[in-house]
Amino acid sequence: MNGAVRYEVLDGVARLTIDRPEARNALSAEVRDGLWAGTRRFVDDDSAAVLILTGAGEKAFCAGGDLKEMADTALEIPPPDFLPQFGRNIDVPKPTIAAVNGVAYAGGFLLAQQCDLVVAAEHARFAVSEVKVGRGAPWAAPLSWLVPPRVALEILLTGDPVDAHRAREAGLVNHVVPAAQLHAKAHDLARQIAANAPLSVAAAKRTAYLSASCSRDEAYARAEEIWAPVYRSADAQEGPAAFRDKRAPVWKGR
């Protein structure tokens, strides 16, 4: 990892932290490289079952692209690998949680949107601010699947920030907590997920996204395919056996 992004694992939970608080954790080239490295490390890390993505400091999760760098490089259309977009340009089978500790604007909104779950501090703000600076947001295409279309349209057309409580009401955020409790809440949620059967968790994540791209009948058919190996696994026998024996299950992931 580089100095702009930190990766650490505790209790089976990986934490990927953008560590550039003096620039509101903006997406410089160094940050983007660190996010790619950290994401790939998490995917390959057998010791980590869940990823928490967050930013350093209390002001910003990520304020988006580094506009000074964009101006200096005359960036037009960002390349497909500009930064990792979970589920789009990199497959991340394990669950991800955004712990939003401040503003999540533009590319920061993207990073939070692409995570499976979002926990936000009370002072967090979310905005797709591209219309205010003449940039684009093709990555926001899934937004109207995550929130009602009229909410998505207001976010996209105005570029105005949405506070954490409004984001939760709209379905963009799962939990809103005081800033001092943010990381504990995100870690508790991650540990709760990590304690579950890993094959079932991975299949559950894949199933949840089927309705975004498939008809109902196709979603059912593909879900049957996804879950068949889970039913046949050793863990599928371990769960009922542990319940019968009144003990904690020992998951093997196979």
- Using one digit for the tens of pLDDT, what is the confidence trace for 176-221? 999 999 999 999 999 999 999 999 999 999 999 998 888 888 898 9
Phi and psi dihedrals of 9, rounded to 5? -130, 135
| pLDDT confidence of residue 72 | 63
Judge contact between 42 and 48, C-beta under 8 A: yes
> Which of the four pLDDT bands, split at 50, 70 and 90, describes residue 71?
low
Question: pLDDT tens digit string along 222-245?
Answer: 899 998 999 899 999 999 999 999
Span 97-123, mean pLDDT? 97
Average pLDDT, the chain: 93
Query: Hey, where are the domains in the chain?
Result: 5-194, 198-245
> Which of the four pLDDT bands, split at 50, 70 and 90, describes residue 84?
very high
> Which of the four pLDDT bands, split at 50, 70 and 90, describes residue 67?
low
| pLDDT confidence of residue 189 | 98
Q: Residue 102 pLDDT more than 90?
A: yes
Question: pLDDT tens digit string along 6-16?
Answer: 999 999 999 99
pTM over 0.75: yes
- To the question of domain 5-194 being in CATH 1.20.1260.10, the answer is no
Q: Residue 101 pLDDT more than 80?
A: yes
Which H/E stretch holds residue 71? helix 67-73
CA distance 235 to 71: 53
Span 71-77, mean pLDDT? 70
Q: Residue 246 pLDDT more than 80?
A: yes
* Of 62, 55, 68, the residue nearest 133 (C-alpha): 68
| pLDDT confidence of residue 194 | 97
CA distance 103 to 27: 13
Which residue in this structure is represented by tokens 């050793």? Answer: 234
Judge contact between 51 and 14, C-beta under 8 A: yes
Q: Which DSSP letter does residue 210 get?
A: G
| pLDDT confidence of residue 164 | 98
| pLDDT confidence of residue 73 | 72
CA distance 118 to 141: 18
Q: Which residues on neighbouring strands pair with residue 65, listed in sequence order?
A: 27
Question: pLDDT tens digit string along 127-185?
Answer: 999 898 888 888 999 999 999 999 999 999 999 999 999 999 999 999 999 999 999 99
